[in-house]
Amino acid sequence: MTGSETTIPWLTILALLPLLGAGAVLVTPSRTALPKLVALGVSLVVLVVSVVVALLFEVDGGFQFVERYTWIRTFGANYAVGLDGLGLVLVLLTTILTPVVILASWNDADTGRWSVNTFFAWMLVLEGLSIWVFCATDVFLFYVLFEATLIPIYFLIGGFGGARRSYAAVKFLLYSLAGGLLMLASVVGLYVVSADSASGPSYLLEDLMAADIGTSTGRWLFLGFFIAFAVKAPMWPVHTWLPDAASEATPGTSVLLVSVLDKIGTFAMMRFCLNIFPEASRWATPVVMTLAVISVIYGALLAIGQQDIRRLIAYTSISHFGFIVLGIFAMTSQSQAGAALYMFNHGLSTAALFLVTGFLISRRGSKLIDDYGGVEKVAPVLAGTFLLAGLSSLSLPGLSPFVSEFLVLAGTFTVSITAAVVATLGIVLAAVYILYMYQRTMTGPLRESTKNLPDLRPREIAALAPLLLLIVVLGFFPKPALDAVNPTVDRLLQEVGVSDPQPTVASDEEGASE
């Protein structure tokens, strides 16, 4: 894991910038536009830095921009950060979405319980912590940051949003804490395992990958990690916090929650579950794939039945997270590359969908589908962006989610035809829930209440444009993103000890990997 020789601690800078920016936002005078401008400025600077990091990043260079210092020697904990292709993609997702969300949420906090400053400060705190999580290469550091991200999002949900936000925030927090504490038990167990090894206690990812973890111990510890990540992702049956949280929070918070924060779950499955517990991951594959397929179908079916637009989108995300987890645990290079790419693309398309419906809801003041109708006649730009975002969510070819979903299914097909076929039904259902929603809200006769609905304002268009642009560009030309994640995926599969099944000897390969 030798990285490029850098003297500049890029990743620490990248993570600290938003946190310092949050401090700056807090001290600017409220009741002016200043806190918003400062927040937007900071997030744009972070975006620029992250792009610089991406340009310096060498594809196929393993972990780069590595920094490592002993942190708590007694625990074997290190401050160790490094960036691989997967991490880079998710860091970029975070830094792209944050300015978009800040711009889109410009007026959302004006009526909140607390000052505008706190809203934007929490957003920047969340950005900084998320970047840090994606860079952590020490399990202890990762755990600390993983839990720390709960605090800003908790206050974002509970402080700003709908009427039942406080209930939603507590539900979210308790689910996450319960998952996190199970993970804590596993983290403690890892210490004991690594303390028994010759090199003494260490939480470094590379040391843990080299450590000899017994079969049954490894499986138990894997479970602790996996459940925490499944709650985060979220997978059926531990998903019930998401619809509440996504529906009660402001649209911007929902974007950060679903597009960035939930990715930590799937990201960590790849980074930690598979790397540290290769045997246990192979052992768990049948169950995890079953749960993932259930998530795909269940999320899609419930999405069709929703009356509340925001809950509908939340359920679509549960369905999409099912695809991501399916791709990870199918353990083929195609499916995992697809899953990694899907994390990025799902982030973009869901963000676009949440934001555009957020604009719609803010105009009419209702989240119910039945309160709308014929909007495309009065607000064509809004309807058009809504359609584009929706089509990307249902994986229309030519838009970026299609590439990733296709890769996941193609990869899955080589290991389990049943799972692939059932999951493909999810795409059909996706068409139903998106188009059905579009039909009921945007087409048909105009309602009394929607007659004077104003179209998107320039600020709102400016927020949505980068997302839609990226969706289209990556739909036609996904190579840069795939190039970034492919080396990571190859190394990961090597670590897990699985190679892509050859079509002719598929059954033999499977037997060998047991």
Partner 1 sequence: MNILAVQAFDVPHIAYGKLSPLLIVFGVAVVGVLVEAFAPRERRYLVQSLLAVGGLILALVAVIVVAGDMASNNDGASLGTIEAMGAIAVDGPSLFIWGTLLIFSTMSMLLFAERSLEGGITAFAGQASALPGTEAEREAATKGVEHTEVFPLAMFAIGGMMLFPAANDLLTMFVALEVLSLPLYLLCGLARRRRLISQEAAMKYFLLGAFSSAFFLYGVALVYGYAGSFELAEIDTAVSASVGSSGLLLTGMALLAVGLLFKVSAAPFHAWTPDVYQGAPTAVTAFMAACTKVAAFGALLRVFYVALGGARWDWQPLMWIVAALTMAIGSIIAITQTDIKRMLAYSSVAHAGFLITGFIGAQQGLSVAGQEISSLQAVLFYLVAYGFTTIGAFALVTVVRDAGGETTQLSRWAGLGKEAPVVAGVFALFLLALAGIPLTSGFTGKWAVFTSAWSGGAWPLVVVAVLMSAVAAFFYVRVIVVMFFSDPVGDGPTVAVPSILTTVAITIGAAMTLLLGVVPQPVFELARHAGEFIR
169 binds partner 1 (CB under 8 A): yes
Q: Please pick, from the candidates 67, 108, 127, 147, the single residue that binds partner 1 as defined by CB under 8 A.
A: 147
How many residues lie near partner 1 (CB under 8 A)?
Answer: 37
Cβ neighbours around 305 below 10 Å, total: 10
276 binds partner 1 (CB under 8 A): no
188 binds partner 1 (CB under 8 A): yes
Binding mask 338-377 for partner 1 (x = CB under 8 A): ----------------------------------------
Instruction: Calculate helix-pair angle for 400-415, 506-513, nearest 10 degrees.
Output: 80
- Least distance (Å) from partner 1 to the CB of residue 231? 11
Q: Which is nearer to partner 1, 175 or 386 (CB)?
A: 175
166 binds partner 1 (CB under 8 A): yes
- Least distance (Å) from partner 1 to the CB of residue 131? 16
Q: Which is nearer to partner 1, 164 or 451 (CB)?
A: 164
- Considering only 65-73, 308-316, 392-400, 404-412, which stretch makes contact with partner 1 by CB under 8 A? 65-73
Q: Please pick, from the candidates 4, 23, 27, 73, the single residue that binds partner 1 as defined by CB under 8 A.
A: 73
Q: How far is 38 from 229, CA to CA, in rounded Å?
A: 34
- Subset of 104-143 contacting partner 1 (CB under 8 A): 113, 143
Q: What angle (nearest 5°) sits at the alpha carbon of residue 156, between those of residues 141 and 78?
A: 5
Let me know: does 326 contact 293? Beta carbons within 8 Å.
yes
Q: Tokens 């200043």: give the residue.
A: 34
Least Cα distance to 90 among 471, 481, 404 occurs for 481
Q: Which is nearer to partner 1, 247 or 400 (CB)?
A: 247
Q: Which is nearer to partner 1, 148 or 431 (CB)?
A: 148
Q: Which residues contact 157 (CB under 8 A, 6 or more apart)?
A: 165, 168, 169, 172, 245, 248, 249, 253, 257
Q: Please pick, from the candidates 45, 54, 177, 431, the single residue that binds partner 1 as defined by CB under 8 A.
A: 177
Q: Which is nearer to partner 1, 194 or 281 (CB)?
A: 194
Q: How far is 38 from 22, CA to CA, in rounded Å?
A: 9
Q: Which is nearer to partner 1, 145 or 437 (CB)?
A: 145
Peptide bond into 251 cis (omega under 30): no
158 binds partner 1 (CB under 8 A): yes
475 binds partner 1 (CB under 8 A): no
- Least distance (Å) from partner 1 to the CB of residue 185? 5
Q: Tokens 């389990």: give the residue.
A: 416
Q: How far is 493 from 507, CA to CA, in rounded Å?
A: 18
- Considering only 174-182, 347-355, 383-391, 404-412, which stretch makes contact with partner 1 by CB under 8 A? 174-182
55 CB-side CA count, 13 A: 6
Let me know if 438 is exposed, middle or buried by CB neighbors in 10 A (0-12, 13-18, 19+): middle
Peptide bond into 35 cis (omega under 30): no
- Subset of 194-213 contacting partner 1 (CB under 8 A): 195, 200-201
Q: How far is 251 from 353, CA to CA, in rounded Å?
A: 10
151 binds partner 1 (CB under 8 A): yes
Let me know: does 327 contact 408? Beta carbons within 8 Å.
yes
- Considering only 104-112, 185-193, 344-352, 371-379, which stretch makes contact with partner 1 by CB under 8 A? 185-193
Q: How far is 242 from 235, CA to CA, in rounded Å?
A: 10
Q: Which is nearer to partner 1, 221 or 407 (CB)?
A: 221
Copy the structure tokens of residue 228: 């925490």
- Considering only 192-200, 270-278, 300-308, 338-346, which stretch makes contact with partner 1 by CB under 8 A? 192-200
Q: How far is 279 from 285, CA to CA, in rounded Å?
A: 10
Q: How far is 97 from 84, CA to CA, in rounded Å?
A: 20
- Least distance (Å) from partner 1 to the CB of residue 109? 15
Q: Please pick, from the candidates 37, 44, 170, 472, the single residue that binds partner 1 as defined by CB under 8 A.
A: 170
Q: Please pick, from the candidates 71, 283, 436, 438, the single residue that binds partner 1 as defined by CB under 8 A.
A: 71
- Least distance (Å) from partner 1 to the CB of residue 183? 9
Q: Which residues contact 184 (CB under 8 A, 6 or more apart)?
A: 143, 224
- Least distance (Å) from partner 1 to the CB of residue 250? 15
Q: Please pick, from the candidates 185, 211, 431, 432, the single residue that binds partner 1 as defined by CB under 8 A.
A: 185
Q: How far is 257 from 351, CA to CA, in rounded Å?
A: 10
Q: How far is 119 from 113, CA to CA, in rounded Å?
A: 10
428 binds partner 1 (CB under 8 A): no
- Per CB under 8 A, residues contacting partner 1 are 71-76, 113, 143-145, 147-148, 150-151, 155, 158-159, 165-166, 169-170, 173-174, 177-178, 181-182, 184-185, 187-189, 191-192, 195, 200-201
